[in-house]
Amino acid sequence: MSKDKLVVQVNGAIEELDKTINIFVERIREWYSLHFPEMDRIISNHEKYLKLIRDFGSREKINEKDLVEFKDKSMGMDLSDEDIKPIQEFAIAILKLYEVREELSKYLEKLLKEIAPNFSELATPTLTAKFISKAGSLEKLAKMPSSTIQLLGSEKSLFRFLHGKGKSPKYGLLFQHPYVQKAPAKLRGKVARHLAAKLSMAAKIDFYSKEYKADKLKKDLEEEIKKISKEK
């Protein structure tokens, strides 16, 4: 079995974990806010929020400097240790999911450097995994023209356009790439087109020749983007 099939499964697992974590975090924030609503407003980082619950439990025990002044005059309801315990256990379980996600991400990055070193260097490991998953395999990605790679992930928008609803999409997954994100709105389409061309070459090299040419591809791409950025 080709290892790019592993990429599809691991990427799918990470995406499902992200959805699950988001749902669980929203739930525990609502739950713990019954006890300490002020913390939900002050602590925006989810992992930090969970660790505070895990480490301290009730608001009275929290010694976080940003929360100390609020815990004694909180508008939340008082909870017993018995009420707090299941919230702490839930927080611990969610933090474990974060750990699993981190381990899967490290494994995925290592896997991608092995099977698609050129593409992952140009597109970032996260985007590479999404491209391979969307295409179905590295082989299918390598056989795609750059125009298809540019629009991969924009199927819904393209469908609407073909049925006379909405504008023609300029990019799909590529919109998430740092080069496209940093480009002025009016130049994003051109940047995406040049980026797709280089990614198309990278995918072919990764699948057919296995040579490492990412440095040259990246240098050429950056020079092309500089020329584009000078356009009015």
What CATH number is given to the structural domain containing 168?
1.10.246.90
Give dist(CA 85, CA 79) in Å, integer: 10
Domain count, the chain: 2
Q: Is 193 exposed, middle or buried (0-12, 13-18, 19+ CB in 10 A)?
A: middle
Q: Kindly state whether residues 133 and 91 are assigned to the same domain.
A: no
Q: How many other C-beta atoms lie within 10 A of the C-beta of residue 7?
A: 24
Residue 180 and residue 123 share a domain: yes
Query: What is the per-residue pLDDT across 78-115, written as a single tens digit (0 to 9) for each?
Result: 999 999 999 999 999 999 999 999 999 999 999 999 99
Tokens of residue 33, six digits: 């806010």
Range of the domain at 50: 4-108
The C-alpha atoms of residue 173 and residue 131 are separated, in whole angstroms, by 7
Question: Given 3-state DSSP classes, what are the helix, strand and coil percentages for the chain, each rounded to the nearest 5?
Answer: 75, 0, 25
Q: Are residues 182 and 159 in the same domain?
A: yes
Give the pLDDT of residue 166.
55
Residue 221 and residue 128 in one domain = yes
Q: Give the end of a domain, one of 77, 108, 139.
A: 108
Query: Does the model's pTM come out above 0.75?
Result: yes
CATH number, domain containing residue 33: 1.10.287.4070
Q: How confident is the model at residue 172, as a pLDDT?
A: 81
Give the three-state DSSP class for 218. helix
Final residue in a domain of this structure, among 60, 83, 108: 108
pLDDT for the residue numbered 161: 46
Report the pLDDT value the prediction gives residue 164, as an integer from 0 to 100. Answer: 55
pLDDT in tens for each of the 232 residues of the chain?
Answer: 578 899 999 999 999 999 999 999 999 999 999 999 999 999 999 999 999 999 999 999 999 989 999 988 999 999 999 999 999 999 999 999 999 999 999 999 999 999 999 999 999 999 999 999 999 999 999 999 999 999 888 656 545 545 456 565 567 888 889 999 998 888 888 999 999 999 999 999 999 998 999 999 999 999 999 988 876 5
| End position of a domain, from candidates 108, 143, 167 | 108
Residue 65 lies in a domain: yes
Q: 3-state DSSP call for residue 190?
A: helix
66 and 124, same domain (yes or no): no
Q: Quick one: 168 and 195 in the same domain?
A: yes
Helix (H) or strand (E) holding 113: helix 81-115
Domain co-membership, 82 together with 160: no
